[in-house]
Structure 1
Amino acid sequence: MGKEIGVTVKKSEDFSEWYTQTVIKSELADYAPVKGLIVLRPDGYSIWESLKSSLDKKFADTGHRNGFLPTLIPESLLTKEKDHFAGFNPEVFWVTKSGDGELGDRLALRPTSETLAYTLFAKWIRSWRDLPLKINFWNTALRAEIKATKPFLRTSEFLWQEGHTVHVNSEEAEKEVTDILELYKKTVEEELAIPVITGKKSEKEKFVGAVYTLTMESLMPDGKALQMGTSHFLGQNFSKPFELKYADKENVESYAWQTSWGVSWRLIGGMIMVHGDDRGLVLPPRVAPIQVIIIPIYYSDEDKEKIEKISKEIEEKLKDAKIRVQVDNREQLTPGFKFNEWEMKGIPLRIEIGPKDLEKNQVTFARRHNRQKDDQAITGLVERVVSELDKIHNDMFSDAKKILEDRTSEVNTYDEFKTELEKGRLIKAPICDNPKCEEEIKEETSADVRVITNDAKDTSSKCIKCSDQSTIRPLFARGY
């Protein structure tokens, strides 16, 4: 039934319901029997694998290697870094029994891996020769998100990667933090066609235990900001409690310098929200499980034989060019039904081949992102498909970037701030260095400092909250 009726609400009228219907009906994911958990279906997992493959290549090129960590962490380990653990404690799932027997030390289902990884790093690292250590883990994390869950955006278990590196000095570690954020930005913009704004988190919003956090943010169509990824300079805040030391070339022991960083399947949620429309998904070509769908259209057996033959030939040529392509030759369904179904699934390019097309030695291109159609000669078709997919990506990125720019405002007063916030804007506003002002803005408006860009310094304005001299002009928004 869901396939027949498609998405039943407009994106502009009920964004939350539109999002959920799009995820479920496009068959990216489904709800699991346990509240707060989702199941990734093959199309959803394919998108994650595409992102994983792209990131893995970049990680390998910059000297990182993948490892694996277990899910269970002893409570005694978590409490070694008290501030960090306190930040996660309300979200931790605990295992207290093994079979019918009580466990002496409670085991946490891993909310994040710092404490576990750094206990091990302290065993592995002895001297400067062991550094830098650059390890990435592809795994799941579990955090008790029971109330306001939403597929890909807020679930109790989620797929992610978390990188952890150890260095001989702060300069090398801080370069790692910056390089990783740039690597993330490149991946999100070049694979998902989502423009992002990068910079630093405020002291209030930084990762628990970090010296500072760099972040990558984007604005969703409902006016809320989505944190797309973070990279943390941990300094020696973890190496000291975990006794993570190394002997330098003079055999003098020093505490190491560390970083951690990660992105999750939240990126898929951002992709759905930024590009989707009232008909469902709109997939960027570089991560689409199927990039091209071919629809044969015929009304007689004679037409059927010819059209299926040419459809198969085009499919094979596109596959040879490494295009992910499929022919939809399901006979029990009408072309119109197929059009609607593949549009809901967001396939970037549809190729229609009917009897009249065959007579003219052409096909019809139907683009998902702008729904434009035109005729294309069969001769040289592969090259045009490759070019078209790149053009679709560039168009999608440009459209999203224009929307982000149009919905970014600059204000100088608190009244202006509140007015723009109700319009669903990302807002540049001056603020002083008193943390209380940031806290009060959050309490009164639900908006927080999303990102402090590199050019955010502003000492010539007045703080929108207290009217004292400002120090920075960061970007505020309500967030997920």
Structure 2
Amino acid sequence: MTEKKIKEKTQEKSQEGITVKKEENFSEWFTQIIEKAELVDLRLDVKGFTIIRPWAALTIENMFEHLEKELQKKGHKPTFMPSIIPKENLMKESEHVQGFTPEVFWIKNTGDNKELALRPTSETLYTPMFKLWIRSHRDLPLKLYQRGSVFRMDTKATRPLIRGREFIWIECHDAFATREEAEAQVQEDIDTTEKVMHQIYGVPFLPMKRPEWDKFAGAEYTVGSDCFMPDGKLIQQPSTHLMGQKFSKAFDATFKNKEEKEEHLWTTAYGPAVSRILASVIATHGDDSGMILPYSISPIQVIIIPIFNAENKNKIIKKAKEISDKLEKENIKVEIDEREYKRPGEKYHIWELKGVPFRIEIGEKEIKNNEVILFTRDIKKKEKIKLTELKNIQKLGKEFDNRLRKKADKFMENRLVSCFNKKEIKEALSSGKLAKINFCSTDKSGIKCAEIVEKELYGDVRGTLANKNEKPTGNCVICNKPATKVVYIGRSY
């Protein structure tokens, strides 16, 4: 469903729950989730620009926290760069110019006759700074990142969180003395995606080295993280790029090596778009009742629902606060829903829709028995537990996330299929799967076969696995020439 249609539906917001099944109509399911869980608002009425509401914003903040912790652990330092790029900077690298100029938002009336662009990406901001900050091999490696927004004038249909003209991300820009170090950084970026997006957010991916015709503008090569959506389409998540020396040569960014000779820097870039990754989190883990947020990133990990009447309200609320205080001391994110104008059943529905991992219900009977009712969102299990057992919530949270990740892994594994002719490829794509095939080449000589895949099979050559060296065993499935690569074909957003 396009952004325009979503906006029209938002005008007549419904209080009812999710009315479609995720497996039967994922597009409508996703639309209802982001509306009814109050994640975004489109009524600013500017194409491709989305207002992110508190529940989504808090989730994104938690996602940032995990990413930044991992990046800093691996030696990255934070920076904040301007949101604008001088035109002369953007024009320095020829491939970059050709790739991004059609997508640039140009700023008019800057006051000093200087042409400025809203940054679509920041290679042309960081590289000139590398030139100033790096003098010697002793200054290397230099690994920097920033969190913020980038802007691209996408002319295609936009979709909140999935495809927009502004997205919120982290971008890393790193400089090295040698190609070997730069390529090691590309592999480290894949490892960061594994440790954070997969292990923490529970979203599995395939690191795909893109074919020559699909690499980032200005890069030597690109590795994109392909994730499955429930409809079988792929969405690209974090991508990492070996920039080589293209940008350092364009900006004459050099350093003195150990022999005191001038060399150009080797650079890389890595870009996890956190707002877009949230779309994968929602799509991967949610069910027909709403979102299911991993315990590790949920803004509220435990919601307490006190069940009271006018006579026992103070007593029940007091006990709920005692439980809340104990959980907070265990560094658990907890909140009490004390709203009197909502019935308990309504509260259950709301917090299930928002995907909170655990719900505690407590009333007169539970206080008397020194227990609570614990509801676990992913398995929809209700059980009575003693108050002393609440100390196990953190452990249960880890088990919660493990279940989500294993379920997502199984879903992805079932989507991979080897194909040996065009008919099998078409059948695989039509059933929402990813076709693994022998292919002639991923350099420019393979473009003709890629065009056949696109026009006849309605698919895309996603690339080769970047973390595994797979050897072809026969001829190209498309042209029957000797195969040099094993590639994966899918349909994407």
Aligned ranges for residues 97-176 of structure 1 at < 5 Å?
97-98=109-110, 104-176=113-185
- Alignment partners' CA distance in 1, 2:470 and 2:337: 55
Q: Is the partner of 1:301 in helix, strand or coil?
A: coil
Q: CA deviation at 1:189?
A: 1.6
Cα deviation, residue 319, structure 1:
0.6
Say whether the 8 Å CA contact 2:94–2:218 is kept in structure 1.
no
Structure 1 match to 2:299: 289
**TM-aligned CA distance change 1:3 to 1:313, over 3 Å:** farther
For residue 276 of structure 1, the aligned residue among 264, 286, 289 is 286
Residue in 2 that maps onto 1:177: 186
Q: Distance in 1 between matches of 2:457 and 2:329?
A: 54
Q: State the match for 1:311 in structure 2.
A: 320
Contact 2:58–2:299 (8 Å) recurs in 1: yes
Q: Secondary structure at the match of 2:246?
A: coil
2:347 is the counterpart of 1:338 = yes
Query: How far did residue 105 of structure 1 move?
Result: 4.2
Q: Does 1:386 find its partner at 2:394?
A: yes
Displacement of 1:359 in angstroms is: 3.1
2:87 aligned with 1:75, yes or no? yes
Letter in 2 for 1:471: T
- Counterpart of 1:94 in structure 2 is 106
8 A contact 2:422–2:457 mirrored in 1: no
Corresponding position: 1:194 with 2:206: no
In the other structure, the counterpart of 2:72 is 60
Residue 22 of structure 2 is aligned to residue 14 of structure 1:
no
Output one character per residue of 1:43-73: Cα deviation in whole Å (capped at 9) or x when no partner: 2111121121112122222221111111111
Output the amino acid matched with 1:466: C
Alignment pair present for 1:351 and 2:363: no
* Among 258, 271, 275, the residue aligned to 2:267: 258
Structure 2 partner of 1:478: 491
Letter aligned with residue 340 of structure 1: H
2:424 alignment partner in structure 1: 416
Contact 1:181 1:215 in 2 (8 A): no
Q: Identify the match of residue 243 of structure 2 among 229, 234, 242.
A: 234
CA contact (8 A) 2:208 2:462 kept: no
CA contact (8 A) 2:453 2:461 kept: no
Moved more, 263-272 or 468-477: 468-477
CA contact (8 A) 2:438 2:473 kept: no
Are residues 29 and 408 of structure 1, via their aligned partners in 2, closer, same or farther at CA, if it must alter by over 3 Å?
Answer: same
Identify which range, 443-452 or 316-325, moves more after superposition. 443-452
Q: Give the CA deviation at 1:2.
A: 4.1
Q: Spell out the pairing of 1:199-218 with structure 2 (5 A cutoff).
A: 199-218=208-227
Deviations 1:346-400 (A, max 9, x none): 11111111333333322111111121212111123122x1121111111111111
| Aligned-partner Cα distance in 1 for 2:68–2:355 | 25
Q: Which letter maps to 1:282?
A: I
Tell me, in whole angstroms, the C-alpha distance in 2 between the residues paired with 1:324 and 1:291: 5
> Distance between the aligned counterparts of 1:355 and 1:95, measured in 2?
62
Contact 1:185/1:216 (8 A) holds in 2:
no
Give 1:87 shift: 0.6
CA contact (8 A) 1:437 1:465 kept: yes
1:188-213 deviation per Cα after TM superposition (whole angstroms, max 9, x unaligned)? 12221112222422222221211122
Q: Is the 8 A contact 1:9 1:278 kept in 2?
A: yes
Distance 2:260 2:371 in 1: 74
Residue type of the alignment partner of 1:13: E
Cα contact 2:425–2:457 (8 A) shared by 1: no
For 1:426, the aligned partner's letter is: L
Contact 1:275-1:396 at 8 Å conserved across structures = yes
Specify the SS of the correspondent of 2:247.
coil
Instruction: For 1:425 and 1:104, locate their aligned partners in 2 and report how far apart those are by CA, in whole Å.
Output: 52
Determine the C-alpha separation between the residues in 2 that align with 1:310 and 1:146: 55
| Alignment-derived partner of residue 457 in structure 1 | 470
1:274, 1:179 → 2: CA distance?
25
Give SS of 1:246's match.
Answer: strand
Instruction: Determine the structure 2 residue equivalent to 1:362.
Output: 371
Give, in whole Å, the separation in 1 of the partners of 2:74 and 2:473. 41
Shift of 1:4: 2.5
Q: Return the letter of the residue paired with 1:94.
A: W
Deviation at 1:300, TM superposition (A): 5.5
Question: Could you tell me which amino acid in structure 1 is paired with residue 397 of structure 2?
Answer: L
Of 41, 44, 56 in structure 2, the residue corresponding to residue 44 of structure 1 is 56
* CA displacement, residues 321-356 of structure 1 (integer Å, 9 cap, x when unaligned): 011111111111111111111111111111111333
Asked if the contact 1:72–1:107 (Cα under 8 Å) also holds between the matched residues in 2, the reply is yes
Q: Structure 2-normalised TM-score?
A: 0.92
Give the 3-state SS of the residue equivalent to 1:307 in structure 2.
helix
Alpha-carbon distance between aligned partners in 2 of 1:49 and 1:13, rounded to the nearest angstrom: 31
Aligned-partner Cα distance in 2 for 1:374–1:145: 49
CA contact (8 A) 1:426 1:475 kept: yes
**Amino acid corresponding to residue 311 of structure 1 in structure 2:** A
Q: 1:106 to 1:259 in 2, by over 3 A?
A: same
TM-score computed with the length of structure 1 as normaliser: 0.95
CA distance in 1 between partners of 2:399 and 2:472 (Å):
43
Counterpart secondary structure, 1:239: helix
The answer to whether the 8 A contact 1:135-1:165 is kept is: yes
1:35–1:146: 8 Å Cα contact kept in structure 2?
no
Size of the alignment, in residue pairs? 475
- Comparing 412-421 and 11-20, the one that deviates more: 11-20
Shift of 1:295: 0.8
Q: For residue 36 of structure 1, report the CA deviation from its aligned partner.
A: 1.1
Task: Give % identity.
Answer: 39
Superposed CA RMSD = 1.7
Mapped to 2, the partners of 1:300 and 1:79 lie a distance apart of 69
